[in-house]
Chain A
Amino acid sequence: MTSVRESLRMLSSEHRDVLRTKLVDDRRPAAEWHALLAPLHDLDVRADAARSRAGKQLLWLYVAGIALILASLFVAPIAALALLVLFAIPIVALHLQRGRLKRLDLADAALGLALPLLPLLAEDAADDAPLELALDLRGPTVDAKRTGEGEPYARGAYHRIVDTFFADPFLHARIRFADGAHVRLAVVEHVRRSRKVKRNPRGKTKIKVKSKRRIQLDVSVAFPARNYVAVAAPTGALPPTDRERVTVRDGATVVAERRVVKSAGAGGAIDSGHLVDLLARAYGRVEPVRRKKL
């Protein structure tokens, strides 16, 4: 918790605004975006670690507390009361601490995807071109992102399953590269959260909540005709993407690439290598039409 306090003290008022709203939408150079997001990422990593530690401490306190209180009931009931108070104080304190840390939590997927990409985008960005970046750091399963709820159904041992669906367009970015290419990145996380209810042979009701996620990553690059022309077959050894479209319009070759990543859980980190691959694949669909020193 000390390191979290230190990280919090280092934050500017702009950082604190982002922590409060958990939304980012602005235009600025990629290097400036890095200066804004890196301290928030550092704080988020520390806060996650502190929350995890507090959770483990709580588990131990509950187990040790219940065991000691039950044992002392047989020896001296008054001692059980004293132990109850003794264990209740740190348990309440840890719950409050976890609540405070939870409020600092930022979506790992959005921050973990954007931050590693910024130095790469800064390398290729045109000197005068800002990066337009919109990030939603609230996480995929907040109420505002709920898109619907399915009808209850039964499957196997579960007599009632209700699926709730969420759509989280958490990253959108646009930038102009030094070679004149206009790059657009968009990432949407779709989550299906299933609440399953079953009754075991002893008549006890058991509830399980499981989430599945599908992350759709889209990259679109408009290559200026003065520098590039489309090629029939992609160059390079990069594996094919899930969808690829090459169109020529308004004096530009537009290459759109899509990859869909599926996993269990919701809101976890996503490898930024997917977006690097999509951009590299888009560049594999064109070749230069002239020699020029940019």
Chain B
Amino acid sequence: MTTGLDRCACKRGFFTLRDCDRPATTACDLCSRRVCDEHLAPRVQARVCVECAARQAEEATTPSEPPTGAPVVHRGGHGPEAVVDPEQATVRTARYRRRYYDDHGYEPMWWASHDSYWAGDGYRWHDDDDFDDDDGGGFGDS
């Protein structure tokens, strides 16, 4: 595990989420979190992290629930698109991750330190009242 204060705040992973832990190089204009170069979305006049870019992109698209409010039942047909340019892989994956969580109600396993940015999102973690919090963020390395 890498130690240090100025680390990227974005989360790595799709089925599970963990800290990026790469050295941060800048701050996101929207969420103010410190992020690394890899988790910076390609924008011309702003510095936006891939997680904020994904949220913005998904909020701008039409919701995928029908007007009746019935949940959408997916049986495939919603996979990620093939990314030919490797530089686009991180930003495209972050967007697909956001869409997949929203559309399928998938709650990833949380193996990262506490992050209020994700407070409104569903994720799964070990919730034990007797747990001895020795990591300052709720995730002790036992």
Contacts and interface: CB of A to CB of B under 8 A. Distances in A.
A24 to B, nearest CB: 16
Interface string B119-142: 000001110100100010111111
Interface in B25-61: none
Contacts of A235: 107, 124
B117 interface: no
Given A178-B13, A236-B107, A280-B104, A292 B140 contact: yes
Contacts of B84: 38-39, 41-42
Given A123-B12, A235-B124, A293 B86 contact: no
Contacts of A39: 84
Contacts of B109: 179, 283, 288
Given A124-B13, A178-B13, A273-B74, A293 B1 contact: yes
Contacts of A119: 80, 83, 89-90, 92-93
Interface in A132-151: none
A169 interface: no
A116 B78 CA distance: 11
29 contacts: A35-B86, A41-B84, A42-B84, A119-B90, A120-B96, A123-B97, A124-B13, A124-B15, A124-B16, A177-B15, A178-B18, A178-B111, A179-B109, A235-B107, A236-B107, A237-B106, A239-B73, A259-B76, A271-B76, A271-B78, A272-B79, A273-B77, A273-B78, A277-B74, A288-B110, A291-B139, A293-B113, A293-B141, A294-B16
